[in-house]
A = this chain, B = another copy of it.
C-alpha cells in the first residue's frame, strides 16, 4: 500500500489506480486476517497470491502494483518489517523479565545466600544481588537489540532486482510511510544483505546463553542437594508415583533451546559464507532460523516471567549455607589490611586462622579473641562484626558490591530505567 501510494504521488501510475490498489489490498488484508483468503500453492509465493487476488478484484490497475520493484527487494523488505516488529516484542519481553527479577530482588532484600565461584561456596552475597546480576545481562541484551534495530530499520525497497530503476520513484517517501529511519544507499548491497538477520541471531544467541545460565541455576537450585528453591507446580512435572518429585522440565527445555538458537546462528552464517553478489536463492533459507529464533526467544522469556514470579525461595536454607565453609575468611584479610597489614601477609594470616578452625572444628565466629590474637596482635574484638554472613555483607563498601545499600541503589536504578521504558 505504501508502494502504491508512492507510485501514485510520483505519477508513475495514476492517482486513481493507486487508490484502487490500496483499497484492493486493504480488502485482501481483511480477508487474510479473517481467514477467508485462500492461498494457492501453484501461485508460488505470498506476493504472487496477493497480486493475483488483486488483479481479480480490481482488474488492470492491479497489474501496475509490481512497477519498480522486484521480489529481491521485496523479500528483504518483508524480513526487515518482520524483524523490526519482533525485535521490539522481544525487547518488551526482556523488560518484563527484568521487572520480575527486580521485583523479586526487592522482595528478598534481606536474604543472604552463598556466592559461588567454581561452583564452590566463596563469600556470602545477597540473593537480591544475585538476581540483579541477571538483570544486568538482560539490560545488555536489550541494548544490543536496540543497536541492531538501527541496522534492521533501513528500507531496501526500490533496489529492485539489483540495479535500481529508471522510473522516478521516491524511496524516502516510502520509508517515511513505513517508519524506516533510512533507506539503503546501494541497490546491489540492498538485495545481497542479510547482516541484520545474522546480527539478530547473534544477539539471540547471547540472550540464550543468559537464559541457559538462569535455567541451569533453576535446575541446580531445585535439586534436593541445593534445596534453594521450590519451583511452582505449573512449571514442573511431577510423578504420580513419587509425589515429592518435581522435575524442572520447563527449565530443562529452556536450557535445551540454547542449542536450537546456536544452531540457527550457525545455519545462517554458513548460508551466507562465500556468496557472490547480489541475490542468491540460498538466502531463502534465512527464514526458518529467523522465525524459529524469534518464537523461541519470546516463549522462553514469557515462561521465565511466569515461573520466576512464583518461585518460592527457601530463605532459611540459603542463609544457613551462606555461613558455612569459612565464607567470611576474606573479610578477616580485609580487616587486617585496614589495620595496616600488607595484603599478602593478611592473606596468609587468615589462611592460618581458617586452618586452625578446620583442625579444631570451629566456625570462625566461635574463636575467642585470645585465640585470634595469637595469629595477629592487630586483631581486636571489632573483628566479630565481620565474621557472620550478615556482617560480611554489611561491611561491603565498593560500588556494585553486595552491600544492602548498593543493592537497594541498583533496584532503584533499574526501577527508574524500566519505568522510563514502559
Contacts and interface: CB of A to CB of B under 8 A. Distances in A.
21 contacts: A64-B344, A67-B342, A118-B247, A118-B252, A120-B248, A130-B188, A159-B400, A163-B330, A166-B396, A167-B338, A171-B399, A184-B400, A185-B413, A187-B398, A213-B276, A242-B325, A242-B330, A244-B326, A244-B354, A249-B281, A259-B271
A123 B242 CA distance: 10
Given A206-B202, A255-B282, A164 B275 contact: no
A403 interface: yes
Contacts of A103: none
Given A205-B269, A282-B255, A396-B164, A276 B119 contact: yes
Interface string A350-366: 11001100100000000
A143 B151 contact: yes
A60 B266 contact: no
B253 A262 contact: no
A371 B163 CA distance: 28
A247 to B, nearest CB: 4
**Copies per complex?**
4
Given A117-B280, A130-B277, A163-B396, A64 B267 contact: no
A183 to B, nearest CB: 6
A158 B400 contact: yes
A85 interface: no
A210 to B, nearest CB: 8
Interface string A289-311: 10000000000000000000000
Interface in A59-97: 60-61, 63-68, 72
Given A119-B219, A164-B398, A398-B68, A354 B186 contact: no
Nearest to A267: B263
A123 B345 contact: no
What secondary structure prevails in chain A residues at the interface with B?
helix
A288 interface: yes
Interface string A106-126: 000000000111111111110
Contacts of A190: 400
Given A224-B325, A280-B117, A400-B184, A166 B386 contact: yes
A64 B403 CA distance: 24
A377 to B, nearest CB: 18
Contact of A64 (B120, B206, B258, B342): B342
B252 A262 contact: no
Given A117-B279, A285-B253, A396-B165, A64 B159 contact: no
B163 A241 contact: no
Given A276-B119, A277-B130, A283 B256 contact: yes
A266 B243 CA distance: 36
Nearest to A407: B186
Interface residues of A, number: 165
Contacts of A329: 241-242
A334 B12 CA distance: 10
A206 B399 CA distance: 36
A161 B262 contact: no
Interface string A369-398: 000000000000000001000001101111
Given A133-B277, A165-B401, A216-B276, 4 more contacts: A115-B278, A136-B184, A166-B397, A183-B399
Contacts of A282: 252-253, 255-256, 259
